Chain A
């Protein structure tokens, strides 16, 4: 069964720390992997998308990596800020985009 897991479910860190969020998937035959941010009661905002042929993508203080062989992706957030507090979701897309599986998310809280 294809599954996507995000551990931990919740994380609290002080402002300024660098942190890593994890996303694991059981089937490595992915097409792409996308990281999202979701604020309470809001929609999802796309952060980064990594194609299966890529190893990492960067946007500002965010860096996402992909290791298909181990079934893992990480989202690295540098110099965290209170405004980074949100739930972070990863989504794995399999071939032909007919199957998209989301993790249940990591709720991140940055303490001032």
Chain B
């Protein structure tokens, strides 16, 4: 089984709808991240969480919110989806113990907002 899983893998939604993307991990890592990837651009950080009670905004948090329900689960919400939120969304995890912070990624969710 994959260590970092994301659901759904693909989603098409309409402008104005609320949508939630979910991420679960079995790696036992304390840190979790949400990124979006647009064609021709690198990944950009949306939100990150160092533990259940420590959530921080990344570079492009406007229009998004997150919830860290447990150490293993980190969800991303689009309160009112808009077409320019069409992108590939990735969840990642890392471990702070040892100071390594190597990131491990999920398979991604392809979101289309029409």
Contacts and interface: CB of A to CB of B under 8 A. Distances in A.
B105 interface: yes
Given A31-B101, A97-B94, A103 B106 contact: no
A39 to B, nearest CB: 11
A103 B107 contact: no
A50 B40 CA distance: 25
A45 B108 CA distance: 12
A4 B42 contact: yes
A18 B90 CA distance: 31
A99 B56 CA distance: 11
Interface in A41-94: 41-46, 49, 51, 89, 91, 93
A13 interface: no
B61 to A, nearest CB: 13
Interface string B94-106: 1010001111111
Interface in A1-53: 4, 31-32, 34, 36, 41-46, 49, 51
A41 B110 CA distance: 9
B73 interface: no
B31 to A, nearest CB: 7
Interface of B: 4, 31, 33, 35, 40-45, 48, 50, 56, 90, 92, 94, 96, 100-108, 110
Those 3 A-B pairs whose CB atoms lie nearest each other, nearest first? A102-B42, A44-B105, A102-B43
